[in-house]
């Protein structure tokens, strides 16, 4: 996964307040890393794990409004 673009000034789509960039934590078996996005609905394999197409995963960026607390996600 490549480094995401630098943080830019964002404003809330709901109230127009200032939004701060952050991330959603994906906690796995002994791992912690930023969450990623994949198109479609989740499908599970025979092991019970969700099937993923690793080449299609996109970094997920999150912005939280400091005024109304709305969180917006963007898949780069």
Q: Which residues contact 27 (CB under 8 A, 6 or more apart)?
A: none
Model confidence at 76, pLDDT cuts 50, 70, 90, reads confident
* Per-residue pLDDT tens over the stretch 26-45: 998 889 999 999 999 999 99
How remote is the C-alpha of 46 from its chain's centroid? 26
* Per-residue pLDDT tens over the stretch 11-24: 999 999 999 999 99
28 - beta bridge partners?
Answer: 31
* Predicted local distance difference test score (pLDDT) of residue 19: 95
* pLDDT beyond 50 at 1: no
* Per-residue pLDDT tens over the stretch 51-68: 999 999 999 999 999 999
Q: How many helices (H) and strands (E) does the chain have?
A: 0, 7
* Predicted local distance difference test score (pLDDT) of residue 28: 84
């Amino acid at each position: 996964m490549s480094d995401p673009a630098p943080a830019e000034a964002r404003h809330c789509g709901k109230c127009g307040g200032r939004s701060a960039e952050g991330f959603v934590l994906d906690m796995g078996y002994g791992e912690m890393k930023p969450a990623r996005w994949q198109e479609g609905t989740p499908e599970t394999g025979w092991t019970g794990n969700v099937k993923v197409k690793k080449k299609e995963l996109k970094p997920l960026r999150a912005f939280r409004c400091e005024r109304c607390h709305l969180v917006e996600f963007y898949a780069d």
